[in-house]
Structure 1
Amino acid sequence: MSSFPDVRPRRLRRSAAIRRLVEENRVAPAELVLPMFVKEGLTEPRPIASMPGVVQHSRESLRKAAAEAVHAGIGGIMLFGVPERKDETGSGGIDPDGILNVAIRDVVAEVGDGTVVMSDVCLDEFTSHGHCGLIAPDGTVDNDATLAAYAEMAVAQADAGAHLLGPSGMMDGQVGVIRRALDAAGHTDAGILAYAVKYASAFYGPFREAVESTLQGDRRTYQQDPANLRDSLREVRLDVAEGADLVMVKPGLPYLDVIAAVRDEVDVPVAAYQISGEYSMVEAAAANGWIDRERAILETLTSIRRAGAQIILTYWAVEAARLLRERY
Protein backbone atom coordinates (compact mmCIF):
# COMPACT_ATOMS: atom_id res chain seq x y z
CA MET A 1 0.00 0.00 0.00
CA SER A 2 1.15 3.50 -0.76
CA SER A 3 1.60 5.87 2.11
CA PHE A 4 -0.67 8.87 2.54
CA PRO A 5 -1.06 11.17 0.64
CA ASP A 6 -2.01 9.21 -2.48
CA VAL A 7 -1.83 12.27 -4.75
CA ARG A 8 1.47 14.14 -4.80
CA PRO A 9 1.42 17.21 -7.09
CA ARG A 10 4.97 18.00 -5.99
CA ARG A 11 6.22 15.25 -8.30
CA LEU A 12 5.79 17.73 -11.14
CA ARG A 13 7.88 20.36 -9.36
CA ARG A 14 10.89 18.29 -8.32
CA SER A 15 13.34 19.61 -10.94
CA ALA A 16 13.77 22.54 -13.26
CA ALA A 17 13.44 20.21 -16.24
CA ILE A 18 10.09 18.82 -15.07
CA ARG A 19 8.80 22.30 -14.23
CA ARG A 20 9.68 23.48 -17.73
CA LEU A 21 8.01 20.42 -19.26
CA VAL A 22 4.64 21.02 -17.58
CA GLU A 23 4.67 24.82 -17.60
CA GLU A 24 1.18 26.06 -18.48
CA ASN A 25 2.04 29.59 -19.61
CA ARG A 26 5.22 30.69 -21.32
CA VAL A 27 6.26 34.11 -22.57
CA ALA A 28 8.00 34.14 -25.95
CA PRO A 29 10.37 36.94 -27.07
CA ALA A 30 8.27 37.40 -30.22
CA GLU A 31 5.33 38.43 -28.02
CA LEU A 32 7.23 41.34 -26.48
CA VAL A 33 7.14 44.93 -27.75
CA LEU A 34 9.69 47.58 -26.73
CA PRO A 35 8.40 51.14 -26.18
CA MET A 36 11.06 53.66 -27.26
CA PHE A 37 11.33 57.43 -26.89
CA VAL A 38 13.07 59.68 -29.41
CA LYS A 39 13.81 63.30 -28.50
CA GLU A 40 14.20 65.98 -31.14
CA GLY A 41 17.60 67.69 -31.18
CA LEU A 42 19.53 65.16 -29.10
CA THR A 43 22.98 64.10 -30.26
CA GLU A 44 23.29 61.25 -27.74
CA PRO A 45 20.90 59.27 -25.53
CA ARG A 46 19.60 61.03 -22.42
CA PRO A 47 18.82 58.89 -19.33
CA ILE A 48 15.35 59.13 -17.80
CA ALA A 49 15.91 59.52 -14.06
CA SER A 50 12.68 57.85 -12.93
CA MET A 51 13.16 54.89 -15.30
CA PRO A 52 16.66 53.50 -14.71
CA GLY A 53 18.02 51.89 -17.86
CA VAL A 54 15.57 53.69 -20.19
CA VAL A 55 16.61 56.69 -22.28
CA GLN A 56 15.34 59.35 -24.61
CA HIS A 57 17.05 58.40 -27.85
CA SER A 58 18.67 60.55 -30.46
CA ARG A 59 17.79 59.62 -34.03
CA GLU A 60 21.12 57.84 -34.39
CA SER A 61 20.86 55.88 -31.14
CA LEU A 62 17.24 54.97 -31.95
CA ARG A 63 18.29 53.32 -35.19
CA LYS A 64 21.01 51.37 -33.43
CA ALA A 65 18.69 50.31 -30.58
CA ALA A 66 16.01 49.26 -33.07
CA ALA A 67 18.49 47.02 -34.86
CA GLU A 68 19.55 45.50 -31.52
CA ALA A 69 15.91 44.86 -30.65
CA VAL A 70 15.38 43.01 -33.92
CA HIS A 71 18.50 40.95 -33.27
CA ALA A 72 17.10 40.07 -29.82
CA GLY A 73 14.06 38.57 -31.51
CA ILE A 74 11.34 40.72 -29.96
CA GLY A 75 8.06 41.16 -31.77
CA GLY A 76 7.83 44.91 -32.19
CA ILE A 77 8.74 48.48 -31.30
CA MET A 78 6.34 51.21 -30.16
CA LEU A 79 7.62 54.71 -30.90
CA PHE A 80 6.94 57.92 -28.96
CA GLY A 81 8.24 61.31 -30.09
CA VAL A 82 9.36 64.19 -27.88
CA PRO A 83 9.49 67.50 -29.78
CA GLU A 84 11.60 70.51 -28.92
CA ARG A 85 8.57 72.80 -29.22
CA LYS A 86 4.93 72.20 -28.36
CA ASP A 87 1.82 74.19 -29.19
CA GLU A 88 -1.88 74.28 -28.35
CA THR A 89 -2.89 71.99 -31.21
CA GLY A 90 0.01 69.51 -31.14
CA SER A 91 0.89 70.32 -34.74
CA GLY A 92 4.25 68.58 -34.43
CA GLY A 93 2.47 65.24 -34.31
CA ILE A 94 0.91 65.83 -37.72
CA ASP A 95 3.89 67.47 -39.43
CA PRO A 96 5.55 64.93 -41.77
CA ASP A 97 8.88 66.36 -40.62
CA GLY A 98 7.97 66.18 -36.93
CA ILE A 99 10.21 64.05 -34.75
CA LEU A 100 7.87 61.07 -34.47
CA ASN A 101 7.24 60.78 -38.20
CA VAL A 102 10.94 61.22 -38.94
CA ALA A 103 11.75 58.54 -36.37
CA ILE A 104 9.29 56.13 -37.95
CA ARG A 105 11.01 56.58 -41.31
CA ASP A 106 14.41 56.10 -39.66
CA VAL A 107 13.40 52.85 -37.97
CA VAL A 108 11.63 51.44 -41.01
CA ALA A 109 14.70 52.24 -43.11
CA GLU A 110 16.88 50.49 -40.54
CA VAL A 111 14.87 47.32 -39.86
CA GLY A 112 12.30 47.12 -42.68
CA ASP A 113 9.92 44.26 -41.97
CA GLY A 114 12.33 42.70 -39.47
CA THR A 115 9.97 43.72 -36.69
CA VAL A 116 6.57 45.38 -36.35
CA VAL A 117 6.96 49.16 -36.19
CA MET A 118 4.18 50.73 -34.12
CA SER A 119 3.53 54.38 -33.37
CA ASP A 120 1.54 56.29 -30.79
CA VAL A 121 -1.41 58.23 -32.24
CA CYS A 122 -1.98 60.81 -29.53
CA LEU A 123 -1.40 64.52 -29.11
CA ASP A 124 -0.25 64.62 -25.49
CA GLU A 125 3.47 64.58 -26.30
CA PHE A 126 2.98 67.49 -28.70
CA THR A 127 0.53 69.82 -26.92
CA SER A 128 1.63 72.66 -24.67
CA HIS A 129 -1.20 71.83 -22.24
CA GLY A 130 -0.33 68.13 -22.16
CA HIS A 131 -3.80 66.79 -22.91
CA CYS A 132 -4.47 64.05 -25.43
CA GLY A 133 -6.81 66.24 -27.45
CA LEU A 134 -7.69 69.75 -28.54
CA ILE A 135 -9.08 72.13 -25.94
CA ALA A 136 -12.53 73.69 -26.38
CA PRO A 137 -13.23 77.32 -25.36
CA ASP A 138 -14.71 76.10 -22.06
CA GLY A 139 -11.44 74.33 -21.18
CA THR A 140 -12.66 70.77 -21.80
CA VAL A 141 -11.13 68.35 -24.27
CA ASP A 142 -13.08 68.58 -27.54
CA ASN A 143 -13.72 64.99 -28.60
CA ASP A 144 -14.84 65.55 -32.19
CA ALA A 145 -12.27 68.20 -33.08
CA THR A 146 -9.61 65.86 -31.72
CA LEU A 147 -10.81 63.04 -33.97
CA ALA A 148 -9.99 65.10 -37.04
CA ALA A 149 -6.46 65.66 -35.72
CA TYR A 150 -6.03 61.96 -34.98
CA ALA A 151 -7.06 61.09 -38.53
CA GLU A 152 -4.35 63.38 -39.93
CA MET A 153 -1.79 62.09 -37.47
CA ALA A 154 -2.50 58.46 -38.28
CA VAL A 155 -2.22 59.06 -42.03
CA ALA A 156 1.09 60.89 -41.52
CA GLN A 157 2.45 57.95 -39.52
CA ALA A 158 1.26 55.44 -42.10
CA ASP A 159 2.85 57.58 -44.82
CA ALA A 160 6.10 57.35 -42.82
CA GLY A 161 5.85 53.55 -42.86
CA ALA A 162 4.35 52.51 -39.51
CA HIS A 163 2.85 49.02 -39.62
CA LEU A 164 0.47 49.44 -36.67
CA LEU A 165 -1.10 52.69 -35.46
CA GLY A 166 -1.82 52.97 -31.75
CA PRO A 167 -4.60 55.46 -30.93
CA SER A 168 -4.20 56.00 -27.19
CA GLY A 169 -6.16 59.17 -26.47
CA MET A 170 -9.44 57.50 -25.46
CA MET A 171 -11.61 59.75 -27.60
CA ASP A 172 -15.02 58.33 -28.52
CA GLY A 173 -15.00 57.09 -32.11
CA GLN A 174 -11.24 57.36 -32.62
CA VAL A 175 -10.76 53.90 -34.14
CA GLY A 176 -13.52 54.34 -36.73
CA VAL A 177 -12.31 57.79 -37.79
CA ILE A 178 -8.72 56.59 -38.13
CA ARG A 179 -9.74 53.47 -40.06
CA ARG A 180 -11.71 55.51 -42.59
CA ALA A 181 -8.88 58.04 -42.95
CA LEU A 182 -6.28 55.31 -43.50
CA ASP A 183 -8.42 53.57 -46.09
CA ALA A 184 -9.16 56.80 -47.93
CA ALA A 185 -5.41 57.53 -48.08
CA GLY A 186 -4.69 54.10 -49.56
CA HIS A 187 -3.30 52.60 -46.33
CA THR A 188 -5.67 49.65 -46.22
CA ASP A 189 -2.87 47.37 -44.96
CA ALA A 190 -1.98 49.59 -42.00
CA GLY A 191 -3.36 48.01 -38.82
CA ILE A 192 -4.83 49.58 -35.70
CA LEU A 193 -3.70 48.56 -32.22
CA ALA A 194 -6.48 50.17 -30.19
CA TYR A 195 -5.80 51.34 -26.67
CA ALA A 196 -9.33 50.12 -25.99
CA VAL A 197 -8.92 49.98 -22.21
CA LYS A 198 -6.79 52.76 -20.76
CA TYR A 199 -7.30 53.66 -17.14
CA ALA A 200 -6.69 57.00 -15.44
CA SER A 201 -3.87 55.42 -13.46
CA ALA A 202 -1.44 56.67 -10.84
CA PHE A 203 1.26 54.52 -12.46
CA TYR A 204 1.95 56.79 -15.44
CA GLY A 205 4.24 59.17 -13.55
CA PRO A 206 7.64 58.14 -14.94
CA PHE A 207 6.28 58.13 -18.50
CA ARG A 208 5.42 61.80 -18.11
CA GLU A 209 9.06 62.52 -17.41
CA ALA A 210 10.04 60.45 -20.44
CA VAL A 211 7.87 62.53 -22.80
CA GLU A 212 8.41 65.79 -20.88
CA SER A 213 4.68 66.13 -20.29
CA THR A 214 3.28 69.58 -19.54
CA LEU A 215 -0.09 68.23 -18.42
CA GLN A 216 -2.36 70.70 -16.70
CA GLY A 217 -5.04 68.98 -14.62
CA ASP A 218 -5.80 65.31 -15.20
CA ARG A 219 -7.29 62.98 -17.81
CA ARG A 220 -10.17 61.51 -15.84
CA THR A 221 -12.83 62.84 -18.21
CA TYR A 222 -11.59 60.60 -21.01
CA GLN A 223 -9.44 57.84 -19.52
CA GLN A 224 -11.34 55.14 -17.65
CA ASP A 225 -12.21 54.91 -13.97
CA PRO A 226 -10.04 52.25 -12.25
CA ALA A 227 -13.15 51.00 -10.44
CA ASN A 228 -14.92 49.93 -13.64
CA LEU A 229 -14.86 46.73 -15.67
CA ARG A 230 -18.15 46.70 -17.60
CA ASP A 231 -17.32 50.13 -19.01
CA SER A 232 -14.03 48.74 -20.29
CA LEU A 233 -15.72 45.82 -22.03
CA ARG A 234 -18.10 48.27 -23.69
CA GLU A 235 -15.13 50.26 -24.99
CA VAL A 236 -13.54 47.08 -26.33
CA ARG A 237 -16.69 46.04 -28.19
CA LEU A 238 -16.99 49.51 -29.73
CA ASP A 239 -13.35 49.53 -30.88
CA VAL A 240 -13.62 46.09 -32.48
CA ALA A 241 -16.82 47.13 -34.23
CA GLU A 242 -15.05 50.25 -35.54
CA GLY A 243 -12.25 48.20 -37.07
CA ALA A 244 -9.57 47.59 -34.44
CA ASP A 245 -7.20 44.80 -35.49
CA LEU A 246 -5.84 44.35 -31.96
CA VAL A 247 -6.95 45.72 -28.59
CA MET A 248 -4.84 46.70 -25.58
CA VAL A 249 -5.28 47.03 -21.83
CA LYS A 250 -3.18 49.64 -20.03
CA PRO A 251 -1.76 49.38 -17.32
CA GLY A 252 -0.98 45.68 -16.98
CA LEU A 253 -0.36 44.32 -13.48
CA PRO A 254 -3.07 46.27 -11.60
CA TYR A 255 -5.63 45.13 -14.19
CA LEU A 256 -5.02 41.41 -14.69
CA ASP A 257 -8.71 40.72 -14.15
CA VAL A 258 -9.54 43.18 -16.92
CA ILE A 259 -7.08 41.51 -19.30
CA ALA A 260 -8.76 38.16 -18.61
CA ALA A 261 -12.23 39.61 -19.18
CA VAL A 262 -11.17 41.28 -22.43
CA ARG A 263 -9.60 38.03 -23.66
CA ASP A 264 -12.93 36.29 -23.11
CA GLU A 265 -14.83 39.10 -24.85
CA VAL A 266 -13.08 39.38 -28.22
CA ASP A 267 -11.62 37.25 -30.98
CA VAL A 268 -8.84 39.67 -31.97
CA PRO A 269 -5.36 39.59 -30.39
CA VAL A 270 -5.16 41.15 -26.92
CA ALA A 271 -2.16 43.20 -25.80
CA ALA A 272 -1.24 44.69 -22.45
CA TYR A 273 1.12 47.55 -21.63
CA GLN A 274 3.36 47.04 -18.61
CA ILE A 275 3.73 50.74 -17.97
CA SER A 276 6.43 52.99 -16.58
CA GLY A 277 5.27 52.90 -12.97
CA GLU A 278 5.25 49.12 -12.96
CA TYR A 279 8.77 49.10 -14.39
CA SER A 280 10.09 51.71 -11.99
CA MET A 281 8.66 50.01 -8.88
CA VAL A 282 10.52 46.80 -9.66
CA GLU A 283 13.71 48.66 -10.52
CA ALA A 284 13.56 50.71 -7.31
CA ALA A 285 12.89 47.67 -5.12
CA ALA A 286 15.69 45.73 -6.80
CA ALA A 287 18.11 48.64 -6.40
CA ASN A 288 17.41 48.55 -2.68
CA GLY A 289 18.05 44.81 -2.53
CA TRP A 290 14.45 44.04 -1.59
CA ILE A 291 13.62 41.68 -4.49
CA ASP A 292 15.36 39.48 -7.04
CA ARG A 293 15.21 41.71 -10.11
CA GLU A 294 15.45 39.14 -12.91
CA ARG A 295 12.96 36.77 -11.29
CA ALA A 296 10.58 39.69 -10.74
CA ILE A 297 10.82 40.71 -14.40
CA LEU A 298 9.89 37.25 -15.64
CA GLU A 299 7.23 36.73 -12.98
CA THR A 300 5.44 39.96 -13.83
CA LEU A 301 5.53 39.20 -17.56
CA THR A 302 4.28 35.66 -16.98
CA SER A 303 1.38 36.94 -14.87
CA ILE A 304 0.27 39.24 -17.69
CA ARG A 305 0.59 36.39 -20.20
CA ARG A 306 -1.35 34.07 -17.89
CA ALA A 307 -4.15 36.63 -17.62
CA GLY A 308 -4.62 36.40 -21.40
CA ALA A 309 -2.43 38.99 -23.10
CA GLN A 310 -0.87 37.57 -26.24
CA ILE A 311 1.32 40.67 -26.70
CA ILE A 312 3.09 42.59 -23.93
CA LEU A 313 4.58 46.06 -24.23
CA THR A 314 7.41 46.28 -21.72
CA TYR A 315 10.53 48.36 -21.21
CA TRP A 316 12.32 45.10 -20.39
CA ALA A 317 11.55 43.57 -23.80
CA VAL A 318 15.14 43.13 -24.99
CA GLU A 319 16.49 42.03 -21.60
CA ALA A 320 13.53 39.71 -21.05
CA ALA A 321 14.13 38.11 -24.45
CA ARG A 322 17.67 37.26 -23.31
CA LEU A 323 16.45 35.91 -19.96
CA LEU A 324 13.85 33.77 -21.69
CA ARG A 325 16.41 32.31 -24.09
CA GLU A 326 18.66 31.45 -21.14
CA ARG A 327 15.74 29.89 -19.28
CA TYR A 328 14.51 27.73 -22.13
Structure 2
Amino acid sequence: MTGRKPFAVGKRHILQSSIFNQTLRDWHGLQSELTSKNLMYPVFIVEDDEAVQPISSMPGISRFGINKLREHLKPIVINGLASILVFGVIEKLPKDDVATNADSKDNPVIKALPKLRSWFPNLTIACDVCLCPYSSHGHCGILHSDGTINNEASLVRISEVALAYAKAGAHIVAPSDMMDGRIGRLKRN
Protein backbone atom coordinates (compact mmCIF):
# COMPACT_ATOMS: atom_id res chain seq x y z
CA MET A 1 0.00 0.00 0.00
CA THR A 2 1.14 3.52 -0.73
CA GLY A 3 -0.60 5.05 2.24
CA ARG A 4 -3.15 6.77 0.00
CA LYS A 5 -6.77 6.58 0.94
CA PRO A 6 -8.89 4.93 -1.73
CA PHE A 7 -11.41 7.11 -3.55
CA ALA A 8 -14.66 6.82 -1.65
CA VAL A 9 -17.56 5.96 -3.91
CA GLY A 10 -20.54 8.20 -3.33
CA LYS A 11 -18.56 11.12 -1.96
CA ARG A 12 -19.02 14.46 -3.61
CA HIS A 13 -16.24 15.19 -6.09
CA ILE A 14 -15.70 18.69 -7.47
CA LEU A 15 -14.65 18.62 -11.10
CA GLN A 16 -11.61 20.74 -11.80
CA SER A 17 -10.49 22.77 -14.79
CA SER A 18 -12.18 21.86 -18.05
CA ILE A 19 -13.64 18.57 -16.91
CA PHE A 20 -17.17 20.02 -16.77
CA ASN A 21 -17.52 19.76 -20.55
CA GLN A 22 -17.66 16.51 -22.53
CA THR A 23 -15.64 17.80 -25.50
CA LEU A 24 -12.91 19.04 -23.19
CA ARG A 25 -12.89 15.73 -21.30
CA ASP A 26 -12.49 13.98 -24.66
CA TRP A 27 -9.55 16.25 -25.52
CA HIS A 28 -7.84 15.33 -22.25
CA GLY A 29 -8.40 11.64 -22.87
CA LEU A 30 -7.16 11.53 -26.45
CA GLN A 31 -3.55 10.46 -26.64
CA SER A 32 -2.09 10.70 -30.13
CA GLU A 33 -5.23 9.87 -32.05
CA LEU A 34 -6.40 12.52 -34.52
CA THR A 35 -10.16 12.57 -35.03
CA SER A 36 -12.79 15.19 -35.76
CA LYS A 37 -13.12 15.62 -32.00
CA ASN A 38 -9.65 17.23 -31.96
CA LEU A 39 -10.64 19.98 -34.38
CA MET A 40 -12.50 23.27 -33.99
CA TYR A 41 -14.52 24.54 -36.92
CA PRO A 42 -14.08 28.27 -37.62
CA VAL A 43 -17.30 30.28 -37.61
CA PHE A 44 -17.30 33.91 -38.74
CA ILE A 45 -20.41 35.83 -37.72
CA VAL A 46 -21.42 39.11 -39.36
CA GLU A 47 -23.93 41.81 -38.45
CA ASP A 48 -26.30 41.21 -41.38
CA ASP A 49 -28.53 38.45 -40.03
CA GLU A 50 -29.32 37.15 -43.54
CA ALA A 51 -25.79 37.20 -44.96
CA VAL A 52 -23.72 34.40 -46.43
CA GLN A 53 -20.37 35.83 -47.54
CA PRO A 54 -17.89 33.37 -49.08
CA ILE A 55 -14.28 33.96 -47.98
CA SER A 56 -12.17 33.72 -51.13
CA SER A 57 -8.94 32.98 -49.24
CA MET A 58 -10.61 30.07 -47.38
CA PRO A 59 -12.40 27.91 -49.99
CA GLY A 60 -15.57 26.35 -48.60
CA ILE A 61 -15.74 28.76 -45.65
CA SER A 62 -18.15 31.69 -45.43
CA ARG A 63 -19.16 34.41 -43.01
CA PHE A 64 -22.72 33.98 -41.77
CA GLY A 65 -25.47 36.10 -40.33
CA ILE A 66 -27.28 34.64 -37.35
CA ASN A 67 -30.31 33.58 -39.41
CA LYS A 68 -28.12 31.54 -41.78
CA LEU A 69 -25.84 30.06 -39.15
CA ARG A 70 -28.16 27.35 -37.85
CA GLU A 71 -28.90 25.86 -41.26
CA HIS A 72 -25.18 25.84 -42.07
CA LEU A 73 -24.06 24.20 -38.82
CA LYS A 74 -26.88 21.68 -38.36
CA PRO A 75 -25.67 19.03 -40.86
CA ILE A 76 -22.08 19.40 -39.67
CA VAL A 77 -23.10 18.94 -36.03
CA ILE A 78 -25.21 15.92 -36.99
CA ASN A 79 -22.09 14.46 -38.64
CA GLY A 80 -20.05 14.82 -35.46
CA LEU A 81 -18.85 18.41 -35.16
CA ALA A 82 -18.08 18.85 -31.46
CA SER A 83 -16.63 22.37 -31.23
CA ILE A 84 -16.45 25.70 -32.99
CA LEU A 85 -14.26 28.78 -32.71
CA VAL A 86 -16.32 31.94 -33.24
CA PHE A 87 -14.97 35.16 -34.74
CA GLY A 88 -16.95 38.38 -35.00
CA VAL A 89 -16.81 40.51 -38.13
CA ILE A 90 -18.28 44.00 -38.16
CA GLU A 91 -18.81 46.24 -41.15
CA LYS A 92 -21.46 48.75 -40.06
CA LEU A 93 -20.89 49.09 -36.33
CA PRO A 94 -18.44 51.89 -35.60
CA LYS A 95 -14.86 51.06 -34.78
CA ASP A 96 -12.96 53.20 -32.27
CA ASP A 97 -9.70 53.37 -30.34
CA VAL A 98 -10.99 51.20 -27.47
CA ALA A 99 -12.98 48.66 -29.52
CA THR A 100 -16.28 49.61 -27.91
CA ASN A 101 -18.29 47.18 -30.05
CA ALA A 102 -16.13 44.19 -29.12
CA ASP A 103 -18.54 43.53 -26.25
CA SER A 104 -21.57 45.69 -27.05
CA LYS A 105 -25.08 44.26 -27.18
CA ASP A 106 -24.97 44.78 -30.96
CA ASN A 107 -21.86 42.63 -31.43
CA PRO A 108 -22.78 39.65 -33.66
CA VAL A 109 -20.94 37.20 -31.38
CA ILE A 110 -22.78 38.41 -28.26
CA LYS A 111 -26.08 38.10 -30.13
CA ALA A 112 -25.31 34.65 -31.56
CA LEU A 113 -24.01 32.86 -28.44
CA PRO A 114 -27.37 32.30 -26.70
CA LYS A 115 -28.89 31.05 -29.94
CA LEU A 116 -25.98 28.68 -30.62
CA ARG A 117 -26.28 27.27 -27.09
CA SER A 118 -30.02 26.76 -27.58
CA TRP A 119 -29.76 25.20 -31.05
CA PHE A 120 -26.79 22.94 -30.29
CA PRO A 121 -26.65 22.21 -26.54
CA ASN A 122 -23.78 19.71 -26.87
CA LEU A 123 -21.61 21.90 -29.11
CA THR A 124 -18.57 23.37 -27.37
CA ILE A 125 -18.24 27.04 -28.27
CA ALA A 126 -14.99 28.98 -28.08
CA CYS A 127 -14.77 32.69 -28.90
CA ASP A 128 -11.80 34.56 -30.25
CA VAL A 129 -11.03 37.40 -27.84
CA CYS A 130 -9.20 40.23 -29.52
CA LEU A 131 -9.75 43.91 -30.07
CA CYS A 132 -8.39 44.17 -33.63
CA PRO A 133 -11.66 43.45 -35.51
CA TYR A 134 -13.37 46.20 -33.52
CA SER A 135 -10.63 48.84 -33.22
CA SER A 136 -10.21 51.75 -35.61
CA HIS A 137 -6.45 51.20 -35.74
CA GLY A 138 -6.63 47.42 -36.23
CA HIS A 139 -4.28 46.56 -33.37
CA CYS A 140 -4.98 43.93 -30.71
CA GLY A 141 -4.71 46.41 -27.88
CA ILE A 142 -5.20 49.95 -26.69
CA LEU A 143 -2.61 52.45 -27.90
CA HIS A 144 -0.80 55.29 -26.17
CA SER A 145 -0.96 58.68 -27.92
CA ASP A 146 2.45 57.94 -29.52
CA GLY A 147 1.10 54.74 -31.12
CA THR A 148 2.80 52.25 -28.80
CA ILE A 149 0.80 49.55 -27.03
CA ASN A 150 -0.65 50.42 -23.63
CA ASN A 151 -0.40 46.93 -22.15
CA GLU A 152 -2.24 47.67 -18.89
CA ALA A 153 -5.22 49.35 -20.58
CA SER A 154 -5.25 46.53 -23.15
CA LEU A 155 -5.44 43.88 -20.41
CA VAL A 156 -8.39 45.63 -18.82
CA ARG A 157 -10.25 45.88 -22.11
CA ILE A 158 -9.48 42.33 -23.26
CA SER A 159 -10.66 40.93 -19.94
CA GLU A 160 -13.91 42.91 -20.26
CA VAL A 161 -14.53 41.39 -23.67
CA ALA A 162 -13.73 37.86 -22.46
CA LEU A 163 -16.10 38.27 -19.53
CA ALA A 164 -18.88 39.50 -21.84
CA TYR A 165 -18.43 36.45 -24.10
CA ALA A 166 -18.50 34.11 -21.10
CA LYS A 167 -21.66 35.73 -19.77
CA ALA A 168 -23.27 35.46 -23.21
CA GLY A 169 -22.61 31.70 -23.29
CA ALA A 170 -19.08 30.90 -24.50
CA HIS A 171 -17.62 27.72 -23.00
CA ILE A 172 -14.09 28.89 -23.84
CA VAL A 173 -12.62 32.34 -24.27
CA ALA A 174 -9.62 32.19 -26.57
CA PRO A 175 -7.46 35.33 -26.45
CA SER A 176 -5.49 35.79 -29.65
CA ASP A 177 -3.85 39.08 -28.75
CA MET A 178 -0.21 39.23 -27.69
CA MET A 179 -0.47 41.32 -24.50
CA ASP A 180 1.86 40.40 -21.66
CA GLY A 181 -0.05 38.99 -18.68
CA ARG A 182 -3.39 38.48 -20.42
CA ILE A 183 -4.07 34.98 -19.14
CA GLY A 184 -3.50 35.94 -15.53
CA ARG A 185 -5.80 38.92 -15.94
CA LEU A 186 -8.52 36.82 -17.53
CA LYS A 187 -8.33 34.26 -14.73
CA ARG A 188 -8.68 37.00 -12.10
CA ASN A 189 -11.88 38.25 -13.73
Q: TM-score, normalised by structure 2?
A: 0.77
Q: Normalized per residue, which structure has more helix?
A: 1
Q: Confirm whether residue 99 of structure 1 aligns to residue 101 of structure 2.
A: no
Instruction: Specify which of 157, 179, 183 is matched with residue 187 of structure 2.
Output: 179
Offset, 1:25? 5.5
Query: What are the equivalent positions in structure 2 for 1:65-76 lying under 5 Å apart?
Result: 65-76=72-83
1:136 alignment partner in structure 2: 144
- Tell me what 2:44 maps to: 37
Matching residue's letter, 2:126: M
Distance in 1 between the 2:63 and 2:34 partners? 27
Matches of 1:118 and 1:143, distance apart in 2: 24
**Cross-structure match for 1:192:** none
Specify the code of the residue in structure 1 equivalent to 2:123. T
Alignment check: 8 A CA contact 1:76 1:118 kept: yes
SS at match of 1:140: coil
How has the CA–CA distance of structure 1 residues 42 and 115 changed in structure 2, closer, same or farther, with 3 Å as cutoff?
closer
Map of 2:118 onto structure 1: 109
With normalisation by structure 1, the TM-score equals 0.46
How many angstroms apart in 1 are the aligned matches of 2:113 and 2:150?
28
**Which residue of 87, 92, 99 corresponds with 1:90?**
99
Deviation per residue, 1:242-300 (Å, 9 max, x gap) = xxxxxxxxxxxxxxxxxxxxxxxxxxxxxxxxxxxxxxxxxxxxxxxxxxxxxxxxxxx
1:120 CA drift (Å): 0.7
Native 8 Å contact 2:49 2:68 kept in 1 = no
Identical columns (%) = 34
Contact in 2 for aligned 1:33/1:76 (Cα 8 Å): yes
Q: Return the alpha-carbon distance in structure 2 between the equivalents of residues 29 and 74 of structure 1.
A: 7
Structure 2: gaps (5+ residues) = 1-30
Superposition CA RMSD, Å: 1.6
Q: Which digits, 9 at most, give the CA deviation of each residue in 1:138-194, with x for residues without a partner? A: 10121110100111111110111100110110111101111111xxxxxxxxxxxxx
Question: Partner amino acid for 1:109?
Answer: S
Q: CA deviation at 1:136?
A: 0.9
